[in-house]
């Protein structure tokens, strides 16, 4: 599925050049090692299939549709906390990438592959990351950044031209978001298959929540949420598509209610807005 999608993106992106996307960073909750659960940027997952690598980035060549995946290099002791870490070769095989390297090599990769080419990004933060990588500066956005310093004299115009680094190639954030939106609105057969599977799995979750409510009168919204979550994961879902909304009584009228703490009373209308994710 990944290769077909990348071919589509490249054929739709008639401006050519290279496409740069970022997965996003872990968001700290508290302390030095407690983070919110990571969910990669959906455009990044769409283009790469990579969903579990915080801080990752990707460079896609529109001429060949070849994918360079860049991941953060973990210290040796990371295996103690997070288990064995996959090698670049293992990541390349898992996600179908043509090349896997580390985000610290971003500047070198850009100079090697994208010299003289426009680089298209999805937002201003990614543009800043590329500029920082080409000049050896730290990126305020926290994205991938090259560690080796180049000879850039700075931006030559508002499009972020780096004449000494990529020889008049521009960093542009106008086109790629619209191309991704257009591509994602037309599903491949494989994507339709995932959506159908997600619908079937979600049905099992909604049925489980309904039965849990009937068999456990006076239970709470979180109990029904747990029944839904357990059922869809047991049925083969990779994850939840989004946080569950389980609203009983007046809570059912709150569009984005996510507290899910109230008791379900006899006669309450219960609204459940929840769905599975299947990749």
The predicted-structure confidence for 105-136, as pLDDT tens digits, reads as follows 999 999 999 888 999 999 999 999 999 998 87
Q: Does the pLDDT of residue 3 top 60, yes or no? A: yes
154 pLDDT band, cuts 50/70/90, is very low
Mean pLDDT of 208-228: 97
Question: Could you give the percent of the chain with pLDDT greater than 70?
Answer: 89
177's enclosing H/E stretch is: helix 176-184
169 pLDDT band, cuts 50/70/90, is confident
Q: Does the pLDDT of residue 4 top 90, yes or no? A: yes
Question: Could you give the percent of the chain with pLDDT greater than 90?
Answer: 81
Q: Does the pLDDT of residue 104 top 90, yes or no? A: yes
Task: Tell me what pLDDT residue 97 has.
Answer: 97
- Residues 232-238: contacts with CB under 8 Å, at least 24 apart: 232/201, 232/202, 232/204, 232/205, 232/276, 235/200, 235/201, 235/204, 235/205, 235/276, 236/197, 236/201, 236/278, 237/198, 237/201, 237/202, 237/205, 237/276, 237/277, 237/278, 238/277, 238/278, 238/279
The predicted-structure confidence for 73-95, as pLDDT tens digits, reads as follows 999 888 898 899 899 999 999 99
The predicted-structure confidence for 179-189, as pLDDT tens digits, reads as follows 999 999 999 99
The two tokens of residue 265 are 């009373």
CA distances from 139 to 142, 149, 175 (A): 5, 13, 23
247's enclosing H/E stretch is: strand 245-248
Domain with CATH 3.40.350.10 in the chain: 2-184
CATH 2.40.110.10 fits 2-184, yes or no: no
Task: Tell me what pLDDT residue 147 has.
Answer: 40
CATH 3.90.230.10 fits 189-277, yes or no: yes
What average pLDDT is seen over the chain? 90
- pTM (two decimals): 0.86
- Residues 32-39: contacts with CB under 8 Å, at least 24 apart: 33/81
Domain with CATH 3.90.230.10 in the chain: 189-277
Mean pLDDT of 159-179: 72
């Amino acid at each position: 599925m990944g290769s077909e999608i990348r071919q589509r993106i490249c054929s739709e992106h008639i401006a050519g050049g290279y496409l740069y996307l970022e997965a996003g960073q872990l968001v700290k909750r508290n302390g030095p090692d407690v983070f919110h659960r990571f969910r990669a940027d959906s455009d990044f997952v769409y283009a790469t299939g990579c969903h579990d690598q915080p801080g990752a980035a990707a460079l896609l060549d529109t001429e060949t549709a070849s994918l360079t995946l860049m991941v953060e290099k973990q210290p040796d002791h990371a295996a103690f906390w997070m288990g064995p870490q996959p090698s670049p070769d293992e990541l390349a095989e898992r996600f179908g990438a043509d090349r896997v390297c580390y985000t610290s090599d971003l500047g070198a990769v850009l100079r090697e592959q994208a010299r003289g080419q426009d680089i298209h990004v999805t937002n201003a933060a990614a543009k800043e990351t590329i500029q920082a990588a080409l000049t050896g500066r730290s990126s305020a956005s926290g994205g991938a950044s090259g560690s080796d310093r180049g000879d850039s004299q700075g931006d030559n115009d508002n499009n972020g031209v780096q004449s000494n680094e990529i020889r008049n190639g521009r960093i542009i954030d106008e086109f790629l978001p619209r191309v991704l939106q257009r591509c994602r609105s037309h599903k491949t057969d494989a994507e339709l298959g995932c959506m159908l599977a997600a619908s079937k799995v979600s049905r099992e979750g909604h049925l489980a929540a309904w039965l849990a409510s009937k068999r456990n009168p006076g239970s709470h919204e979180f109990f029904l949420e747990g029944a839904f979550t357990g059922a869809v994961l047991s049925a083969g879902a990779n994850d939840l598509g989004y946080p569950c909304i389980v609203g009983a009584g007046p809570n059912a009228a709150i569009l984005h209610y996510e507290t899910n703490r109230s008791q379900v009373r006899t006669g309450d209308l219960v609204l459940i807005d929840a769905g599975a994710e299947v990749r």
